[in-house]
Amino acid sequence: MRIHTLQHVSIRSGDLARARDFYERLLGLREVPRPNLGFPGAWYGIGTSQLHLIAREKLLAGIDPTGPHFALEVESLETVRQELKAGGIPYLDFGGSQLWVRDPDGNVVELCEPSGA
C-alpha cells in the first residue's frame, strides 16, 4: 500500500455554529465546497489538505465514517481492498473511491483515491 498524502482530518462538533465561528473568525480558515452528505458540516482548505467538521452527536455502531478520523490518499484503492481482504482486516466499503478501517486502538482511518480536483 502506498500512501501519497494526508487528505483530510474530520472532527465532530456538538455546536456547528460555534465551531465555524472559531475556525473561520479566529483561525481565519476559508470554507471550501462540501457535497450534501445527509448531515450538517463544513469543510475548510488548509494547504493541499482539508479539515472537515461533522455535526453529529453520537457515533454509529461499528466503523463510523461520520466520526473523528483522518484520510490518507492511496495509489490504488483496489490494491488496498485486496490487501485488507488477504489480511482478514474488517473494513467499511460503499463501493466508491474511499473505504474505512480501524487501527489497532479503534481509531477510524479513511483510505481514498485522489479526488482529481
Q: What is the pLDDT of residue 116?
A: 53
Instruction: Tell me, yes or no, if the pTM score tops 0.95.
Output: no
Residue 43's CATH number: 3.10.180.10
Domain carrying residue 70: 3-112
Place of cell 471550501: 32
* Pairwise CA distance, residues 42 & 94, whole Å: 22
- Convert the pLDDT of each residue in 32-42 to its tens digit: 999 998 889 99
If one counts the domains in the chain, the total is 1
Largest pairwise CA distance in the chain: 47
- Convert the pLDDT of each residue in 104-116 to its tens digit: 768 899 999 987 5
Residue 117 domain-assigned?
Answer: no
Residue 27 domain-assigned?
Answer: yes
